[in-house]
Amino acid sequence: MTEPIKTDALIIGAGPCGLFAVFELGLLDMKAHLVDILDKIGGQCAELYPEKPIYDIPGLPYITGQGLTDALLEQIKPFGATFHLQEMVEKIEKIGDPEFRVSTDLGKVFECKVVVIGAGGGSFQPKRPPIPGIEAYEENSVFYAVRKMEQFRGKRILIVGGGDSALDWTLNLAPIASHLTLLHRRDQFRAAPDSVNKMMALVGKGKIDFVLGQVAALEGEGGRISKAVVKTNDGSDFHIACDALLPFFGLTMKLGPVASWGIEMKDGELIPVETASFETNVPGIFAIGDINWYPGKLKLILSGFHEAALMAQKAHRYVFPNKRLVFQYTTSSTSLQKKLKVK
Ligand SMILES: Cc1cc2nc3c(=O)[nH]c(=O)nc-3n(C[C@H](O)[C@H](O)[C@H](O)COP(=O)(O)OP(=O)(O)OC[C@H]3O[C@@H](n4cnc5c(N)ncnc54)[C@H](O)[C@@H]3O)c2cc1C
């Protein structure tokens, strides 16, 4: 087994509520690690609406999704939380009273006193393109994310899509691929214009190919692709020889493994909590933000912030069972100000 990473709190989800949990835990001297399946921090705010305005964060009349994420990151800086991105928490095991072992799909293991589930609407998962039999090639030669670029060195790569991920990976993988083709169904892109220009420049220099069309079928054996059958917009077919297919068709939110963690669930998708500390039916496991349920719950960021503050008070009892907790204001407490590195 991999050497476990020991921490006071393991936070599942780096959305706004997971981020603010770092702050509330940090004020009470608890260290946190965060795991998120996305390749970026900020949950829905950063993934779904980075440029949209939010008007109901107390004290901030206007802030964008990305702006709020950046501000939260600035606010939690003093507490030095560690982020583990592009990893999905798969399993939570109880190993003490309370103490937990939490494992990710990449084999990382954490041992912690408390678990804070801030998993929102669930994990963002890639949309599977409608190609018959694609499942047989997944994880072998079809990949929905690039976790290690080296894996693609010297390979014939076919990237499909017209968004930022498709274009970014086209630009990043072009120098190490033996051959790279970008396939998109039209010649307009959702990706940043600068990336599109850079991609077109590579096409102009003959370094990569850009083809209009859609993958209709895959051919290969034992999970290894040898070619993709591409249907062009005029209805004709042709083959592209490739070793790896990377479709980037966007993300969808699925609950993912949350339901298998042995915690009581409501309607199969939300985690009921009590409202004094937002603890689940398992002592030491808390749920905050969009993932939890209690009478009157509103799926608003400000609700999750309040939940994080009360969660930290109860978590303190588990992490420091012999320490008395004294309530303090950041405005007047020099000890809190030292932790915030403003004194
Ligand atoms: C278009 C839009 C506009 C909105 N506008 C507003 C608004 O104006 N005001 C407002 O208050 N709210 C707004 N919301 C809602 C707000 O974004 C959510 O309430 C908020 O994001 C919830 O935060 P969270 O931290 O609970 O979860 P999320 O932001 O959903 O983050 C959860 C994170 O957990 C990760 N995760 C889940 N499962 C796992 C796992 N097993 N392993 C690892 N990681 C996992 C996910 O990848 C995700 O990044 C809006 C939402 C949308 C979609």
Pocket test for ligand 1, best of 11, 24, 34, 44 (most atoms within 8 A of CB): 44
Ligand 1 atom showing the smallest separation from residue 256 Cα: 41
Residues of the chain under the 70 pLDDT cut? 1
Pocket test for ligand 1, best of 57, 85, 301 (most atoms within 8 A of CB): 301
Determine whether the shortest distance from the Cβ of 122 to ligand 1 is under 6 A: yes
Question: What pLDDT sits at residue 298?
Answer: 97
**Chain-centre distance of CA 199, in angstroms?**
27
Torsion, Cα 279 281 282 286, to 10 degrees, reads: -20
Q: What percent of the chain has pLDDT over 90?
A: 87
**Model pTM?**
0.82
Contacts 24+ apart (CB under 8 A), 306-310: 307/17, 307/273, 307/278, 308/17, 308/20, 308/21, 308/23, 308/24, 308/116, 309/24, 310/275, 310/276, 310/277, 310/278
Question: What pLDDT sits at residue 234?
Answer: 87
Question: What pLDDT sits at residue 1?
Answer: 60
Determine whether the shortest distance from the Cβ of 50 to ligand 1 is under 6 A: no
Question: What pLDDT sits at residue 50?
Answer: 86
Q: Would you say 32 and 14 are in contact if contact means Cβ atoms under 8 Å apart?
A: no
Name the residue at shortest CA distance from atom 1 of ligand 1: 49
Name the residue at shortest CA distance from atom 21 of ligand 1: 44
Q: What's the rounded Cα separation, in Å, for the pair 90 and 308?
A: 23
Question: What pLDDT sits at residue 189?
Answer: 96
Q: Would you say 85 and 41 are in contact if contact means Cβ atoms under 8 Å apart?
A: yes
The alpha carbon of 82 and the centre of ligand 1 are apart by a number of angstroms equal to 19
